[in-house]
Structure 1
Amino acid sequence: MIPLIRRLVRIVVPLPRDLKLAWSTIKGNKGSFGGSFFAIVAGSTVITACGILLQSGLGNGVTPERYSGAAVVLGAPQSFWLDESSEVRYSERVTLPADKVAAVAAVPGVQSAVGDVNVQVSVLNPDGDAVSGPDDFPVLGHGWSAAALAPFTVSKGHAPAGPGEVVLDGDLAERGDVVLDATVQIVVGSIPSSYRVVGIAAAPDGLDRQSAVFFSDDHAITLAGRPDRVDAIGVLAAPGVAPEQLAGRIKDAVPDVVVHTGAGRGDVEFLDVGDARSLVVETAASFGGTMVLIVVFVVASTLALSVRQRRRELALLRAIGATPKQIHWMINAEMTLVSFAGALGGAIPGMLLAFVMRGVFVVAGAMPRDFQMQVGVLPILAALVLCMISARLSGWLVARRVAKVSPVEALGDAAIEPKKLGRVRLIIGVLLIPLGLLLTLGNVASPGDSAADTAASAVLLFVVALGCLGPLLLNGALPLFGRLVNRRSTASGFLAQANARANRRRLSAATTPLAMGVTLAAVQVFGASTAITGAQHQLEDGLRADHALTSSSGAGISPQVVDAVRRVPGVAVVTPVARMRVLLRFPSEDSTATKVFAAQGVTPEGLSETMNLAVFHGDTAGLQGETVALSRVVADTVHAKVGAAIELHLGDGTTIKPRVVAVYENGLGFGDVTLPNDLVVAHTTAQVDSAVLIRSTDGTDQKALEAALRGAVQRYPTVQLGDREALLAAPGAGGAGDWVLNLLFQTVLLGYLAIAVVNTLVMATAARVREFAMLQLIGASRDQVRKIMNGEARIVVFAALLFGALATIPPLIGFSLGLTQSPTPSISIIGVIAIVAFTVALSWGAIAMATRFAMRPAPIDAIGGRE
């Protein structure tokens, strides 16, 4: 056992003499190891950035404001847990039964328990304009008893005692030019009401993320519309009772509540913080996992190239008596030093990249501006471990060939490139291609949403297949396109083709990562354009309303507005639209799957007059009570047909089992799940509609109708009237910032691949010093050598674009079929030109720069040097 442990330690931790020898070989091969070092630095940068985002999502939050004086804050479970480590956040606030307040107050150590409700309001200044919170954060109304949780103190006046009285926080009163005893207009939903300002209050540390308006407790409950529910419960501890101790007691005594202390109290107060935390963890973990695979592959490929460039040196070591173990130990030590230095070198750039990514999250609206980043040592250690493992593994794989052959064969192998690919590599590459085709085009995946997701994910199979079969594909394609890019009648064209055939592994090392970048860029760009174009077409073709009502304050539209508009002469159909995200649970193979979909709530009366959902099974006229209409994508995903019941979790966590009454096609444009309007409104946080669609009767004077509609909504100051074009330009239900985040991650991924491509091209070209010197000594001019390299660059570019296009076509077709039932994805000419131009600039620039560098020494000096 002890000898085995010693051997493992020797493999993992090189001896000092091995490291000393490795350092000497690194100094003698700076160009070769320099490329490997930069590949590891770039990989460590990306992994560190993802690790910092992940750590911040798990550990950080926002300091509570109105709950800063509470020892413990209780909320309802705001997430649906898929398993012990994976959750899906509900889109609306999940509330608690009001009787929980008394149960919490009875726990020993609780001084008092206060139930809090949040009502989004708009405060109008004397000019009738809405006054927003600080930095455009919301203005929220509460019952006065919740003021004790900060605690707020009244600096002027007194607490509200009746339904017509209100207390404003000091900053809000100053921004709104409101003074004590003044009458102020406050809009709840769309309904304005007059209140007398009886007090001005302030929190101990001020309010940075909100403005507060306090009503009497009874009136706040009335405005919230849920007399038997509270949003949260704040707990004040008895003297001498620690928050953590009290939290444990409450957790044991009161079931079905989530207990928060410390910074976690902010997650209950600010739902966007909890949403951001969940999103950051999910995206950083998902993207980080993908990047780890790409980094390992690229680092292994780069290191393999650097070791292959030293085949002559390694073969000589074998010829003079070095054993296979010694070769392995030497390369093992080299990889340890290079990967350790490279991983540490990527730490600081990784921190900077993490903050850049945070900025994009904020711009996309996926993270609040005050969400703090947590920079710790764990992400750096993770990047260090992953980079060192990938480097050590790649070094071991490359050293196997040199170490296992006899010394005499080693010298012979060093003279020319191996003609055959490894058997395992060849088998993996060959098997991945039909597997990818089956997943994208063969209906192996589940239909509906899973088909599109699987088709988009299958691109990784084609990317890995490119990496495995790159030399073989290049060798097979050269006879087909070689003459197209290089004329054999010229010396430079002939030599470029000859070099490509003789050194296809070296050329493939440059072509493969470039083709991977082309594939990933094309799938992401054209996959997104396919989804966006499909949604836009469905919306343009299906929207039949002439006018639409929206809220200027973002607080929504109250049902009273819908009733007022219906009474306007010339109005044929009025369709209120409420939106939320819902969770669908359905059987999937031997388990239960859960997916999130965008949902809308509408009224069935005259629905086809305002929006055309393209129903092909059932009828939306039956959309009443607990019923639902599903898009084709969702119906195929959950295997639901008209008349079947499905399990659905609404935005506030309420579980229902509605009956399917219709299946429609236009889910991309209008939402994949359509429910009765009253059902959706009752389970949204604000209990209001997002928009109201209006269709006029035939022959109505549109200008007169528009004037009448403006008159009908004039008494609702936050409601605005728009036409059909304004509604078409509004962001869809999928979230306006989704494409920004997708663009961020793809930019990081493609940026890393670009670095890898340039690095590989420079390494492969700069190592040909002796070859360029020999060409010049037998009569070639520098311009002729550059023409040869330009010919090789054309081969690299053409091959990368060809292989990238071939690997892109199946995923895009499968993605388009899954979403739109059309095999033709949306491909923009501008996108194609951008990808081609970037590919040409990247490869041509790197090869030209490396060629110039390799020809700096005089030919007579370079020919006697080392490779």
Structure 2
Amino acid sequence: MLTIALSTLRMRWVSFVGTFTALALGVGLIAAAGLVLAASVAAPARPPQRYMVGPAVVAPADTLSVSTRLSGLDSAQLADSPGLPADLVDDVAATGRVVPDRSFYAQVAGVFPDAGAIPNAAAWDAEAAAGGDPVGHGWSAAPPTGYALTAGSAPAHDDEVVVAGLARPGDRVRVRTVAGSRLYTVVGTVSARRSEAPVFFTDAEAARLSPQVDALIAYGPVHAVRAAVGDRARVLSGAGLAALDPDRTRDAAARNDTNALVGIVGGFAAFVAIFVVAATFGYSVVQRRREFALLRTTGATPRQIRRMLFGEVALVSTAASAIGCVLGPLAAPSMLDRLIALGMAPDWLPDSTSWVPLAVAFATGTGVGLSGVLVASWRAGRTRPVEALREAAVDTRALTWGRLLVGGVALCSALVMFTTTVLDPESATSDKTYMPMVMVLTVAVGLLSPLAVAPVTRAVTRLGRSTDGAIGMLVRENTLTSVRRTAATAAPVLVTVGLTALLGGAAGMIDHAENASTGRTVLADYVVRPIGAPGFDRALVARFGAVDGVDVAAPVPTTVYAVHAEAKLIGFPAQAVTPTTLALALDTPVLAGSMADVKDDSIAVPEHWARSVGDLVDVWLADGRPAKLRVAAVLAEGPLPYAYLTPRYGTGLAPMLYVKLRPGADPAAVRAALDQAAAGEKAAIASKAEWLAGLADGQADASRIGLFLVLGIVLSYTAIAIVNMVLMAAAERGTDIAALLLAGATVAQVLRVLVLESLLAVTIGVVLAAGATAVGLGGLWLALLRYSGPVPIALPWTLVGAVTAGAALLAVLATVLPGAWRVRRPAVELAGRRDG
């Protein structure tokens, strides 16, 4: 049977070229994604980036451990550094020389060159944006951490600094810290690093700005240092110093983004490849019924028929998978570079040389091919010898019971999944929830598509029959008597248009819902955001708060740890803010108690804490300090699942200010006063409507990145599938073309019939896609209705229209080009050929 399989591949190469291409590209994409995943997961530990010179570093514990009643000791990662106690610093100093290292927010906010020494402010902003987090240190910590002067000298006075960037010695710079901003003179420069944008002060000035010692570089014997520290802190050395790198958390987040994205890419690649392969072989079996029947007539058993089909697929999938494994390593570096450029992967990840992703991709490709032909081979083996006598290409049964059963189960599964999102509306905003539903719904509609061919054809061709005479009648009847061929041609159009509309529409609707939810939550009239900085310092917050006629809420993010259900230590998001101004600027629905009762010894908690007003709760602050606070208010669940404390517990910057007009205040006068308060500062003041519009644009941009990556995969596959299916359908039209030519039809009329049939199949695919989109987006709309209220159906009409037009153009070209070649051959010769 292998010899026969080779012969059929040679004779029916048109039926397999699309499958071969789709599998090769799919395996190549899976291999590339696997190599990127391997680079992310299996990358060697990154060498320490900050503490590269010191032999040992004493650092505070970075975890909080608490004994719980039900599960014993439990731990959680601390959000803030607790610092080193003074007695520990003294004990370590007794072992040898030590260098205290303080790390705190410090950012150059303005440069005033004495003689035009540096470029303009825009150049400085670009330089600062390219660096890492703005951070201040004492100068004594510079040499042990690998910094060396590139110009000038070390700071000798408290009004002098050393910076990295475009400033030069002699420039005056304004440096912003948590407390406020102050002018300093640049006396030296160091080379910039991607991990941080440092500002070095004198040790005394650093201690004034941040009294807490965040790390201690110890030059004494490591064993003596460990003995002096005991269990009060961590002693790190060698490769372990990488745990103290400032961008460690950012790198971990980027690697998680990388893993999630390449997983989605690989999943969609496998999904669409299986769809293409299964559709191709399913239709191939329909085309080859007479061939299989003749083999049965000559004595071939059903098992031999199946072996022949599996042999064909094994040859195609093996060759395609091998090609894909060659393409994958070529594409992986470009994919990784693209992810790095999008900020979705760390820039230090090396290219992977692992063979495991290639082996997995090869096995996936061959497995996809064999699984795609599984059902088709079973159907081929059931072909009866009597079917060799059939000459007409009439589909007597458009949908098998097996396909109807699987399609019905898939449709019911999709409806159940959508119902689940309606009951749990927050899950509808997650791609991990919605994308699987889209896949299952698309499969269901694709399997049940033959049921729609006849009614859609009659509806669409009714106009054609009345205006195009015999040609319209031929198109209609050919379509109705070739339901499987039409459904097979419409299926890739369904996937192309349907996934474009579903994914694009879902992204837009979810963005609208999140934006609407935010809009209802924010009661403020104005929102002030920092530009080029992580937040506002206290002095700037006070300046805005001094504006007449407004109340300003400046929430500072923090974390509060508490034991949940007496078993698990959890870090809950919290905000430190003046509760009375918060209630004016943000909608924080109170179920019990009052926000006005939140004092320094109390806390407002969300409902899921399962606490009552008046309860005393044991909590731990962001740096691990314990506190016993009284519950002053219980808040309803909503888009702001925060616990709220007074400003006493906020040690960082306010990332956003909410400004609420007082009754009777003049909006124009207030806006002018706000602009004056922001003079000289990089702050963007926007009305609530302006801010929400900008927020929606930002959400749309973020959604488009992932959407275009996924759609790029889908469209490349389905373009191949469309062309492949049309070519397969055209390959068996020799007899039909000959009959038309012998009946007196002109070449133009024959080509017109073929083109109209292809366009009708595309139209059916679009109608099916519209139905799937209506079901999918309708279910999502019901879920989002409970989440945020009514949202518009935000279909990307331009993109959907372009994709639909592209699908139609591909179908027409794949019809006209081979059709034009066929009609130039003698009609008698065409009548005797069914393929090639």
- Is TM > 0.5 for Structure 1 vs Structure 2? yes
Partner of 2:8: 25
Aligned equivalents of 1:836 and 1:597: distance in 2? 46
Aligned equivalents of 1:678 and 1:837: distance in 2? 54
Partner of 1:84: none
Deviates more, 1:456-465 or 1:725-734: 725-734
Q: Kindly state the Cα deviation for residue 54 of structure 1 after the two structures are TM-superposed.
A: 1.7
Summarize the Cα distance change of 1:97–1:744 in structure 2 as closer, same or farther, 3 Å threshold.
farther
Partner of 1:731: 695
Q: Kindly state the Cα deviation for residue 436 of structure 1 after the two structures are TM-superposed.
A: 2.6
Q: Return the match for 2:162 from 161, 167, 171.
A: 167
- State how 1:817-832 maps to structure 2 within 5 Å: 817-821=782-786, 825-828=791-794, 831-832=796-797
Amino acid at match of 2:197: S
Partner of 2:23: 40
Summarize the Cα distance change of 1:818–1:866 in structure 2 as closer, same or farther, 3 Å threshold.
closer
Partner of 2:453: 474
Amino acid at match of 2:761: V
Aligned equivalents of 2:482 and 2:620: distance in 1? 59
3-state SS of the aligned residue for 2:821? Answer: coil
Summarize the Cα distance change of 1:533–1:363 in structure 2 as closer, same or farther, 3 Å threshold.
farther
Residue by residue, what CA displacement relative to the aligned partner does 1:839-858 show, whole Å, maximum 9, x if unpaired? 24313432443343134131
Aligned equivalents of 1:767 and 1:816: distance in 2? 44
Summarize the Cα distance change of 1:391–1:592 in structure 2 as closer, same or farther, 3 Å threshold.
farther
Partner of 1:136: 130
- State how 1:764-803 maps to structure 2 within 5 Å: 764-803=729-768
* Contact 2:558–2:573 (8 Å) recurs in 1: yes
Residue by residue, what CA displacement relative to the aligned partner does 1:577-636 show, whole Å, maximum 9, x if unpaired? 44689999999xxx9999x99987654324454345688998655666775576xxxx8x
Residue by residue, what CA displacement relative to the aligned partner does 1:541-590 show, whole Å, maximum 9, x if unpaired? 6655444433233131012322333333x233111144689999999xxx
Summarize the Cα distance change of 1:794–1:157 in structure 2 as closer, same or farther, 3 Å threshold.
closer
Partner of 1:53: 36
Q: Kindly state the Cα deviation for residue 347 of structure 1 after the two structures are TM-superposed.
A: 4.5
3-state SS of the aligned residue for 2:449? Answer: helix
Partner of 1:503: 482
* Contact 1:429–1:464 (8 Å) recurs in 2: yes
Partner of 1:191: 180
- State how 1:90-105 maps to structure 2 within 5 Å: 95=81, 98=84
* Contact 1:576–1:602 (8 Å) recurs in 2: yes
Aligned equivalents of 1:91 and 1:732: distance in 2? 33
Deviates more, 1:20-29 or 1:355-364: 355-364
Gaps of 5+ in 1: 1-17, 81-89, 242-247
Summarize the Cα distance change of 1:51–1:600 in structure 2 as closer, same or farther, 3 Å threshold.
farther
Partner of 1:122: 108
Gaps of 5+ in 2: 66-75, 114-119
Q: Kindly state the Cα deviation for residue 828 of structure 1 after the two structures are TM-superposed.
A: 4.4
Aligned equivalents of 1:735 and 1:351: distance in 2? 33
Q: Return the match for 1:564 from 522, 530, 543.
A: 543
Aligned equivalents of 2:436 and 2:88: distance in 1? 51
* Matching of residue 852 in structure 1 with residue 817 in structure 2: yes
3-state SS of the aligned residue for 2:36? Answer: helix
* Contact 2:511–2:699 (8 Å) recurs in 1: no
Q: Kindly state the Cα deviation for residue 189 of structure 1 after the two structures are TM-superposed.
A: 3.9
Q: Return the match for 1:527 from 506, 519, 532.
A: 506
- State how 1:697-708 maps to structure 2 within 5 Å: 697-702=662-667, 704-708=669-673
* Matching of residue 461 in structure 1 with residue 440 in structure 2: yes
Partner of 1:838: 803
3-state SS of the aligned residue for 1:673? Answer: coil
- What's the RMSD between the two structures over aligned residues? 5.0
Aligned equivalents of 1:165 and 1:728: distance in 2? 42
Partner of 1:331: 309
* Matching of residue 177 in structure 1 with residue 168 in structure 2: yes
Q: Kindly state the Cα deviation for residue 688 of structure 1 after the two structures are TM-superposed.
A: 0.4
Q: Return the match for 1:152 from 147, 150, 156.
A: 147
* Contact 1:134–1:209 (8 Å) recurs in 2: no
3-state SS of the aligned residue for 2:695? Answer: coil
Summarize the Cα distance change of 1:519–1:353 in structure 2 as closer, same or farther, 3 Å threshold.
farther
Amino acid at match of 2:709: F
* Contact 1:120–1:188 (8 Å) recurs in 2: yes
Summarize the Cα distance change of 1:207–1:461 in structure 2 as closer, same or farther, 3 Å threshold.
closer
* Matching of residue 740 in structure 1 with residue 715 in structure 2: no
Q: Kindly state the Cα deviation for residue 218 of structure 1 after the two structures are TM-superposed.
A: 6.3
Q: Kindly state the Cα deviation for residue 320 of structure 1 after the two structures are TM-superposed.
A: 1.9
Q: Kindly state the Cα deviation for residue 305 of structure 1 after the two structures are TM-superposed.
A: 2.9
Q: Kindly state the Cα deviation for residue 349 of structure 1 after the two structures are TM-superposed.
A: 5.2
* Matching of residue 299 in structure 1 with residue 277 in structure 2: yes
Deviates more, 1:320-329 or 1:263-272: 263-272
Aligned equivalents of 2:572 and 2:456: distance in 1? 44
Aligned equivalents of 1:757 and 1:316: distance in 2? 30
3-state SS of the aligned residue for 1:458? Answer: helix
Summarize the Cα distance change of 1:33–1:116 in structure 2 as closer, same or farther, 3 Å threshold.
farther
Partner of 2:644: 676
Aligned equivalents of 2:812 and 2:568: distance in 1? 52
3-state SS of the aligned residue for 2:580? Answer: coil
Residue by residue, what CA displacement relative to the aligned partner does 1:373-410 show, whole Å, maximum 9, x if unpaired? 54654333322211111111222331222224554456
* Contact 2:511–2:696 (8 Å) recurs in 1: no
Aligned equivalents of 1:698 and 1:313: distance in 2? 85
Partner of 1:864: 832
TM-score (norm 2): 0.79
- State how 1:378-777 maps to structure 2 within 5 Å: 378-408=356-386, 417=395, 419=397, 421-441=399-419, 446-450=423-427, 453=430, 454=433, 457-475=436-454, 477-479=456-458, 481-483=460-462, 487=466, 490-537=469-516, 543-568=522-547, 570-578=548-556, 602-607=577-582, 609-612=584-587, 621=596, 627=603, 661-663=634-636, 667=639, 672-676=640-644, 678=646, 682=650, 687-702=652-667, 704-712=669-677, 714=679, 717-719=681-683, 721-724=685-688, 726-731=690-695, 738-751=702-715, 752-777=717-742
* Matching of residue 66 in structure 1 with residue 57 in structure 2: no
Residue by residue, what CA displacement relative to the aligned partner does 1:307-351 show, whole Å, maximum 9, x if unpaired? 443333333223222333433333223212211222233346555
Amino acid at match of 2:425: G
Aligned equivalents of 2:379 and 2:649: distance in 1? 67
* Contact 2:154–2:188 (8 Å) recurs in 1: yes
Aligned equivalents of 1:100 and 1:344: distance in 2? 64
Aligned equivalents of 2:515 and 2:798: distance in 1? 23
Summarize the Cα distance change of 1:739–1:622 in structure 2 as closer, same or farther, 3 Å threshold.
farther
* Contact 1:485–1:794 (8 Å) recurs in 2: no
Q: Kindly state the Cα deviation for residue 355 of structure 1 after the two structures are TM-superposed.
A: 5.4
3-state SS of the aligned residue for 1:856? Answer: helix
Aligned equivalents of 2:425 and 2:767: distance in 1? 30
Q: Kindly state the Cα deviation for residue 437 of structure 1 after the two structures are TM-superposed.
A: 2.6
Amino acid at match of 1:448: P
Aligned equivalents of 1:257 and 1:747: distance in 2? 49
Summarize the Cα distance change of 1:363–1:213 in structure 2 as closer, same or farther, 3 Å threshold.
same
3-state SS of the aligned residue for 1:176? Answer: coil
Amino acid at match of 1:430: G
Q: Return the match for 1:207 from 193, 210, 219.
A: 193
* Contact 2:509–2:794 (8 Å) recurs in 1: no
Q: Kindly state the Cα deviation for residue 449 of structure 1 after the two structures are TM-superposed.
A: 0.9
Amino acid at match of 2:793: I
Aligned equivalents of 1:760 and 1:622: distance in 2? 70
* Contact 1:582–1:651 (8 Å) recurs in 2: yes
User: Once the two structures are aligned, what percentage of the paired residues are identical?
Assistant: 24
Aligned equivalents of 1:534 and 1:813: distance in 2? 14
Partner of 1:245: none
TM-score (norm 1): 0.77
* Contact 1:643–1:659 (8 Å) recurs in 2: yes
Q: Kindly state the Cα deviation for residue 489 of structure 1 after the two structures are TM-superposed.
A: 7.1
Residues paired across the two proteins, number: 798
